[in-house]
């Protein structure tokens, strides 16, 4: 009789695991081709970057990591595995979510869609006096993902949350072309990713993918999209069709908020910390 009740007790767990294909955890948490997301090189951040959000490299050079955190208007820079960081103040306190370095210009994205722009050469200063703000150039919504294409001088932005996207079961995105001579951002089109199948099969929440970071494979042109809410890394084709989906292990990825490749095709993902966990950047070396 005890064995009967024991079997009944474990039945719901068995059913739950079966619904996801009951496999060892290393097989459940898959990785994009060429990477092993279950075995990172971990770099814990100093206290100033507990809430690290976006990360970026200049021309894919990994000797300096540029980053922001989502409360203070500061751009940080440091070497890999060096906790000694320097920063420049570019704005007041606010909800800063991502950054991108477009050739010699830094762009920082606020959650309300506002852009902040200043020369990368000014990053060595203590405080910036001449920061350009771009307000209300995006539709009303919440934004956390920004990518810069050095070859085309274009910025790509993903919408994390909007009523229109939720109704249409899509994730919308916007393209801006930057003219470095006139310092103008020119609206250059929009695009969308169909999320209906992911919602239908319950891969993601009904409220959407909730993108928290965006980057692009420099060789294939495929898009890499992080979702901290859904604990997913999504790989999409250059025309924004879902190619593969990789569920992230929450014991490794506390709150994934930043995403970047370096020139050697190593992949970096930053995680916000909390009361028990330091903020960190995880490095996944390319497997040749």
CATH of residue 173's domain is 2.120.10.30
- Whether residue 255 contacts residue 275, with contact meaning beta carbons closer than 8 Å, is answered with no
Total domains in the chain come to: 2
Question: Which pLDDT score, from 0 to 100, does residue 10 have?
Answer: 38
User: Do 53 and 15 share a structural domain?
Assistant: no
The boundaries of the domain holding residue 3 are 1-26
- Whether residue 226 contacts residue 233, with contact meaning beta carbons closer than 8 Å, is answered with yes
Three-class SS of residue 166? helix
The set of residues, in sequence order, having a beta carbon less than 8 Å from that of 148 and lying 6+ positions away, is 56, 100, 101, 102, 103, 107, 154, 155, 156
Q: Report angle CA 188, 215, 119 to the nearest 5 degrees.
A: 65
User: Do 134 and 2 share a structural domain?
Assistant: no
**pLDDT of residue 139 exceeding 90:** yes
Interval 6-35: pLDDT, tens: 344 434 433 333 333 444 444 489 999 999
Three-class SS of residue 95? coil
Interval 41-57: pLDDT, tens: 999 999 999 999 999 99
Q: What is the CA radius of gyration of the chain?
A: 20
Three-class SS of residue 238? coil
Longest alpha-carbon distance in the chain: 80
Q: Over range 229-234, report the average pLDDT.
A: 97
Burial class (CB within 10 angstroms; exposed 0-12, middle 13-18, buried 19+) of 170? buried
User: Do 74 and 11 share a structural domain?
Assistant: no
User: Do 37 and 21 share a structural domain?
Assistant: no
Q: Confirm whether pTM is higher than 0.85.
A: yes
**pLDDT of residue 122 exceeding 60:** yes
């Amino acid at each position: 009789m005890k064995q009967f009740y024991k079997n009944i007790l474990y039945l719901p767990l068995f059913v739950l695991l079966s619904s996801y294909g009951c496999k060892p955890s290393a097989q459940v948490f898959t990785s994009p081709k060429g990477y092993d997301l279950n075995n990172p090189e971990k770099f814990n951040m100093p206290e100033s970057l507990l809430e690290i959000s976006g990360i970026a490299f200049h021309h894919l050079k990994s000797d300096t990591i540029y980053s922001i955190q989502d409360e203070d208007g500061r751009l940080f820079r440091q070497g890999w595995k060096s906790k000694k960081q320097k920063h420049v103040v570019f704005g007041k306190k606010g909800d800063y979510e991502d950054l991108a370095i477009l050739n010699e210009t830094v762009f920082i994205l606020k959650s309300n869609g506002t852009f902040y722009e200043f020369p990368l050469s000014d990053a060595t200063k203590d405080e910036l006096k001449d920061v350009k703000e771009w307000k209300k150039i995006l539709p009303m919504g919440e934004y956390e993902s920004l990518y810069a294409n050095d070859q085309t001088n274009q910025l790509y932005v993903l919408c994390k949350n909007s009523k229109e996207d939720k109704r249409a079961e899509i994730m919308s995105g916007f393209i801006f072309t930057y003219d470095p001579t006139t310092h103008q951002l020119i609206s250059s089109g929009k695009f969308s990713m169909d999320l209906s199948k992911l919602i239908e099969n319950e891969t993601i929440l009904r409220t959407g993918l909730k993108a928290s970071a965006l980057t692009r494979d420099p060789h294939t042109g495929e898009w890499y999209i992080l979702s901290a809410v859904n604990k997913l890394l999504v790989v999409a084709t250059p025309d924004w069709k879902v190619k593969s989906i990789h569920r992230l292990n929450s014991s490794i990825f506390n709150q994934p908020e930043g995403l970047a490749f370096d020139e050697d095709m190593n992949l970096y993902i930053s995680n916000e910390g909390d009361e028990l966990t330091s903020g960190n950047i995880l490095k996944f070396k390319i497997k040749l």
